[in-house]
């Protein structure tokens, strides 16, 4: 199972699909027209973070093995998941990943996506999304079993008892 959101948004002027993530107004990255943020997009960064966190818990990575894109928000969930996975795999700064991802976009789209992606990364970092899952953290230290002293056996840490 994967999370899906059936929300779309188009510019009021040119009908370009984009995510109005800034409150209260986001400029259309295509024509520059100010677009008021609707109620359904007020927490869109939070929605993207929740979807990515859920998918990572379920699948061990942000990008699900199969994901249908049925809306604009689904597109951004999938887009951000791929970027987060790339960031985790490459272990480079978020600035490098973001700049590489947006390099082929027009300047207006670069500005729009850069700001949105920085907000996503900052929110993901605050939520601890880039930390290794607990299972993976303990596996690395679990190479050597912990030996506990048994009653009646002498260990290096236990002092010798005086003989009477």
Residues 32-51 pLDDT 10s: 888 776 666 668 889 899 99
Residue 150 located in a structural domain: no
Q: What tokens does 77 get? A: 């969930």
Residue 154 has pLDDT above 60, yes or no: no
Residue 11 located in a structural domain: no
Residue 9 located in a structural domain: no
Strands (E), 20-145: 25-27, 34-36
Is the pTM for the entire model greater than 0.85? no
The secondary structure of residue 27, as a DSSP letter, is: E
Residue 120 located in a structural domain: yes
Count of structural domains, the chain: 1
Residue 103 located in a structural domain: yes
Give the whole-number percent of the chain exceeding pLDDT 70. 72
5/140: higher pLDDT: 5
Task: Give the domain range for residue 96.
Answer: 43-130
Give the pLDDT confidence score for residue 132 in this predicted structure: 73
Q: How confident is the model at residue 143 (pLDDT cuts 50, 70, 90)?
A: very low
The secondary structure of residue 17, as a DSSP letter, is: B
Q: In this structure, are residues 153 and 113 in contact, taking their beta carbons and an 8 Å threshold?
A: no
Residue 109 located in a structural domain: yes
Lowest mean pLDDT among 21-30, 128-137, 145-154: 145-154
Residue 26 has pLDDT above 50, yes or no: yes
CB atoms within 10 A of CB 87: 20
SS3 content of the chain, % helix, strand, coil (to 5): 45, 5, 50
């Amino acid at each position: 199972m994967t999370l899906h959101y059936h929300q779309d948004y188009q510019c009021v002027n040119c009908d370009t699909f984009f995510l109005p993530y800034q409150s209260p107004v986001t400029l259309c990255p295509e024509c520059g027209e100010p677009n008021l943020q609707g109620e359904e997009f007020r927490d869109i960064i939070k929605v993207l973070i929740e979807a990515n966190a859920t998918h990572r818990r379920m699948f061990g990575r942000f990008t699900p093995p199969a994901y249908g894109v049925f809306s604009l928000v689904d597109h951004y969930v999938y887009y951000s998941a791929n970027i987060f996975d790339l960031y985790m795999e490459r272990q480079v700064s978020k600035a490098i990943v973001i700049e590489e991802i947006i390099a082929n976009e027009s300047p207006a789209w670069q500005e729009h996506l850069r700001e949105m992606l920085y907000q996503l990364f900052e929110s993901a970092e605050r939520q601890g999304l880039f930390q290794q899952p607990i299972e993976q953290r303990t596996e690395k230290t679990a190479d050597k079993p912990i030996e506990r002293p048994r009653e009646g056996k002498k260990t290096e840490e236990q002092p010798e008892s005086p003989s009477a």
